[in-house]
Amino acid sequence: MNETASGTAIGPLDVTRVMAALPHRYPMLLVDRIESLDPEKGIVAIKAVSMNEEFFQGHFPGRPIMPGVLQVEALAQAAGVLAVESLGLAGSGKLVYFMSIDNVKFRKPVEPGCLLRLEVEFLQKRSRVCKFAGRATLDGEIATECEFTAMIADPPA
Per-residue pLDDT tens digits for 77-127: 999 999 999 988 888 888 999 999 999 999 999 999 999 999 999 999 998
Mean per-residue pLDDT, 1-8: 50
Catalytic residues: 59
The model's pLDDT over 8-58, given as tens digits with 9 standing for 90+, comes to 788 899 999 999 889 999 999 999 999 999 999 999 999 999 999 999 999
Domain 15-153 in CATH: superfamily?
A: Hotdog Thioesterase (3.10.129.10)
Mean per-residue pLDDT, 121-135: 95
Q: Are 79 and 151 in contact (CB under 8 A)?
A: no
Tell me, rounded to whole angstroms, the distance of Cα 65 from its chain centroid. Answer: 18
Q: What pTM did the predictor assign?
A: 0.93
What integer pLDDT is reported at residue 116 of this predicted model?
98
Cα–Cα distance, 116 to 123 (Å, whole number): 22
What integer pLDDT is reported at residue 2 of this predicted model?
42
